Amino acid sequence: MEMKYYIVYGNWNPELLVDPNALNKAMEEWSKVLEKIDMKVKFWGSPLGITKTSVCVYKGHPDNFTKIPFGQAPYTDTNTHVVMKI
């Protein structure tokens, strides 16, 4: 089996919820941080039907996923699903 994608749910930082431009800029900057550790943001947005306000789908090697500096992320309070390839 191979880990392919990481679906990370969280809550957007409150200051980003009042300005869509600020949210876009924050995600552009966050994507650059992740590129430095060879992770990619494939998709991001807001999930439906759950209490979390953010969702990001990442692709990269499991070793690199563990290097993500979540303290710098534009969201907090995360939960992660891992998509496996059999």
Identify whether the C-beta of residue 60 lies closer than 8 Å to the C-beta of residue 39: yes
Q: Higher pLDDT residue, 7 or 86?
A: 7
Give yes or no for a contact between 29 and 84, defined as CB atoms under 8 angstroms apart: no
- The per-residue pLDDT for 3 is 87
> For the domain that residue 56 is a member of, what is the CATH number?
3.30.70.100
- Cβ atoms of residues 65 and 18 within 8 Å: no
Share of the chain above pLDDT 90, in %: 91
How far apart are alpha carbons 53 and 60 in whole angstroms? 23
What is the pTM for the complete model shown? Answer: 0.91
- Using DSSP, state whether 34 is helix, strand or coil: helix
Residue 20's pLDDT is 86
In the predicted model, what is the mean pLDDT of residues 7-12? Answer: 98
Tokens of 58: 């990442």
Counted domains in the chain = 1
pLDDT digits (tens, 9 = 90+) for 46-69: 999 999 999 999 999 999 999 999
The per-residue pLDDT for range 11-22, each reduced to its tens digit, is 999 999 999 899
* Ramachandran area for residue 83 (φ above 0: left; ψ -120 to 50: alpha; else beta): beta
